[in-house]
Amino acid sequence: MIQRIAFIGNFLPRQCGIATFTTDLCEAVATAAPETTCIAMPVNDTEDGYTYPPRVRFELDEKDIKSYLRAADFLNTNNVDLVSLQHEYGIYGGRAGSHILALMRELRIPIVTTLHTILKDPDPDQLRVLREVAALSDRLVVMSQRGVDFLKEIYGVDAEKISCIPHGIPDSPFVDPSFNKDLFGVEGKIVLLSFGLLSADKGYENVIGALPAILARHPNVVYIILGATHPNVLRHEGERYRLSLQWLAQEKGVAGEVIFNNRFVTLEELNQFIGAADIYITPYLNAAQIVSGTLAYSLGAGKAVISTPYWYAEEMLSDNRGVLVPFRNPDAIADAVIDLLDNEAKRHAMRKRAFVFGREMIWPQVALLYLEVFDRARSERRNYIPPGFTVKALDEYPRDLPPIKLDHLRNLTDDTGIVQHAIFTVPNYHEGYCTDDNARALIVSTMLEESGNAQAFQLASRYMAFVWYAFNPKTGRFRNFMDYQRRWLEDGGSDDSYGRALWSLGTVLGRSTTHALHSMAGWLFEQALPAIVDTTSPRAWSFALIGIHEYLRRFAGDRMAGQVRGQLASRLMSLYQANRTDSWRWFEVSLTYCNAALPHALLLCGHSLADPAMTAAGLESLAWLSDVQRAEKSGGHFVPIGTRGHYQQDGERARFDQQPVEAQAMVSACLEAFRLTNQSRWRREAKRAFEWFLGRNDLDLPMYDPATGGCRDGLHPDRPNENQGAESTLAFLQALLELRLADDGLPTHKESTP
């Protein structure tokens, strides 16, 4: 018998649909199985958390991956028999909600995952995350047949692993709508109702647009919009959508017939509102919605329902249980409402069909179905040891990564941007600023946002402002050097600083969710991109290609960006073919600085352009570079090309001075090679390069300073350079962040290729 079940997801009083579902499921199972202890483990999206009920035993911090690991330890050591996990990309931290994988990988108990979103066209991160969630789960629960089909056809999940259980609903009576109308002052009115957390994808404007035609036929109609604005929308956009609805109602002359109830109501209040409704409407704008709790509630309460044909509505309202109307079509909504109000017998027959159908969805019935799935998952687990849960040898554990410490980064950053150099740890104002370093800092701060760091926006806005100011619209390029008095020292900077600026803008556009940064970066990226084709530096091309790749992850249809990518990638490939020999597998006749950026860019382009020859060249050149940058002894440490002469073909390679940017470039390129090939050698190469910062280098001395969070500027033959400038500190932080994000989000299964 299952004695303890942990429910992971959001939880009331947090205001969201997942919180309501998780709370209701937990309480329903606890009621159906009183001998079982049910505990909840909610995810907090604010530092203060919420005032949870006693059932909550452990709280996760959405953006802190360590809290997911602590939660796994808690579950493994507290006699929990099974985890019921609610999966929705947006409630967990990391890229595409990948932080939850860290918890799942460490669990030693059965996991039953309820999927609240199953996308028909997932992006690569969403596809990877859901596939691994499915692989780590003992059983999967979906709420519609379409969800079953998608899991099998798109995500490759075995049908035997999937259970279809309907969305739970309260056991509401079949009541006459007039019974509850006096509670809301709408007695004698015909009530149209929409409810749920308010956001722009709800489409309520289309119902308001339909009201003039409806009122012309039935003047006693009112439309109630019930629900608070979604907390995430409120934080980023305020009440803009609600205000737009109010302005539209005034414009249409129906402001007196639209009632806004801006509250997150209790279940009892919600049932009263639903009970008072004559017609419930879900006019959502997006077909790609696999489940809707609001539709399930209203259907099960025996309401006449009008909906746009999103996936869940198509399934639930089939067999004349409701009416489907086209997306974004107020006229169709008006016609459907008028038809139901004109044909009372039709409306009540529809209500009865909906109510009867909903009897299988009430929470007591749904809880029993979940308990059956829980028992099955536990019995199957007794006879099966999942891969990856064997005892590991000590040397298989990854080396612990240092914490993210931003003290020195903030110390170098002032109201203008990040200062180039430091004397020891003190900013060196004599050297001023440069676009190159502020672009690096913008990349790092965007990754900080992605990892959930609270200081990210403050830093990113400062560096974004510098890059914006650096752009010279007369030349279409970026200035680079500025003195401490904020005077530009040139009209146009180097090709490489120009390429790195594009890299930073592409990263903001591809990864950041901050609208203000998007607007600035989008305009600047468009203005600056064309002139990159006039540059001659292969590194500038490579930096720009990495930025274009980041940009096209979100805006794949941009033809200009695609054309520039194709042109620069072709140049880089031609350069490699012209200079490569069996003993010198490189793009030029010398190795200089940021070398790994060249194969990194070629790998990205080969994959995106479906060019196997380009991908092969990227892997070949990166493998050769990794061999060149390796100490001679067995299992040798990372030895970057030194700046005292670099490495000319057929010449002597410079051992010193070794620069942090070389280690960072190698980490980035090797992680990309791992993503593309899933060959563990590339992950090992990335870790090897990063360990150079930690002291696995020629002098066995750390470059990273744990006291400041900064990085020393280089490795001399006898000592480290004790100055901690912007370039070196940012190189360390970027490498650290990329490894952290990779350890969070990349697949962990082993493969046989060495």
CATH of the domain at 225: 3.40.50.2000
Same domain, 88 and 142: yes
Same domain, 123 and 209: no
pLDDT of residue 751: 33
Same domain, 81 and 203: no
Give domain status of residue 9, yes or no.
Answer: yes
- Indicate the pTM of the whole model: 0.58
pLDDT of residue 706: 86
Out of 328, 360, 392, a domain closes at 360
The closest alpha carbon to 461, from 484, 478, 438, belongs to 438
Give domain status of residue 145, yes or no.
Answer: yes
Same domain, 229 and 300: yes
Q: Is 591 helix (H, G, I), strand (E, B) or coil?
A: strand
Residue 750 has pLDDT above 70, yes or no: no
Side chain identity, residue 470: A
pLDDT of residue 749: 32
pLDDT of residue 234: 80
312's CB contacts (< 8 A; 6+ apart) are 143, 144, 146, 289, 290, 291, 292, 295
Same domain, 368 and 346: no
CA dist 31 and 364 (Å) reads: 8
Per residue in 169-207, pLDDT (tens digit) is: 999 888 888 888 888 889 999 999 999 889 899 999 999
Give domain status of residue 442, yes or no.
Answer: no
For the segment 346-357, the average pLDDT, to the nearest whole number, is 95
Per residue in 207-250, pLDDT (tens digit) is: 999 999 999 999 999 999 998 888 877 877 788 898 899 999 99
CA dist 598 and 666 (Å) reads: 10
Give domain status of residue 598, yes or no.
Answer: no
Same domain, 62 and 117: yes
pLDDT band at 744 (very low <50, low <70, confident <90, very high): low
Give domain status of residue 475, yes or no.
Answer: no
pLDDT of residue 745: 54
Q: Round the average pLDDT of the chain to a whole number and report it.
A: 92
Residue 293 has pLDDT above 70, yes or no: yes
Same domain, 149 and 184: no
Antiparallel, parallel or unpaired: β 422-423 and 426-427: antiparallel
Report the interhelical angle of 726-745 vs 99-106 (nearest 10°): 50
Per residue in 669-707, pLDDT (tens digit) is: 999 999 999 999 999 999 999 999 998 899 989 899 988
Same domain, 184 and 333: yes
Give domain status of residue 711, yes or no.
Answer: no
pLDDT band at 392 (very low <50, low <70, confident <90, very high): very low
For the segment 609-628, the average pLDDT, to the nearest whole number, is 97
Residue 634 has pLDDT above 60, yes or no: no
pLDDT of residue 635: 63
Residue 180's alpha-carbon distances to 186, 263, 340, in angstroms, are: 9, 18, 20
pLDDT of residue 752: 30
Q: What is the 3-state secondary structure (H, E, C) of 219-250?
A: CCEEEEEECCECHHHHHHHCCHHHHHHHHHHH
For the segment 413-435, the average pLDDT, to the nearest whole number, is 97
Q: Is 147 helix (H, G, I), strand (E, B) or coil?
A: helix
User: Do you find a cis peptide bond into 158, omega within 30 degrees of 0?
Assistant: no
Per residue in 241-275, pLDDT (tens digit) is: 988 999 999 999 999 999 999 888 887 888 889 99
Same domain, 200 and 338: yes
pLDDT of residue 139: 97
Asked if residue 603 lies in contact with residue 677, where contact means CB atoms within 8 angstroms, the answer is no
Domain range for 233: 178-360
Out of 360, 393, 409, a domain closes at 360
CA dist 609 and 611 (Å) reads: 5
Q: What percent of the chain has pLDDT over 70?
A: 96
Report the interhelical angle of 65-77 vs 99-106 (nearest 10°): 20
| Count of positions (residues) in the chain | 754
Asked if residue 721 lies in contact with residue 714, where contact means CB atoms within 8 angstroms, the answer is yes
Domain count, the chain: 2
pLDDT of residue 385: 41
Same domain, 18 and 140: yes
729's CB contacts (< 8 A; 6+ apart) are 408, 409, 412, 709, 710, 711
For the segment 122-137, the average pLDDT, to the nearest whole number, is 94
pLDDT band at 746 (very low <50, low <70, confident <90, very high): very low
Query: Phi and psi dihedrals of 579, rounded to 5?
Result: -110, -15
Same domain, 265 and 338: yes
For the segment 361-372, the average pLDDT, to the nearest whole number, is 96
Give domain status of residue 741, yes or no.
Answer: no
pLDDT of residue 393: 28
Same domain, 66 and 128: yes
Query: Phi and psi dihedrals of 37, rounded to 5?
Result: -85, 125
Q: Among 389-403, 465-479, 569-583, which is the least confidently predicted range?
A: 389-403
pLDDT band at 325 (very low <50, low <70, confident <90, very high): very high
Helix (H) or strand (E) holding 324: strand 323-324
Give domain status of residue 401, yes or no.
Answer: no
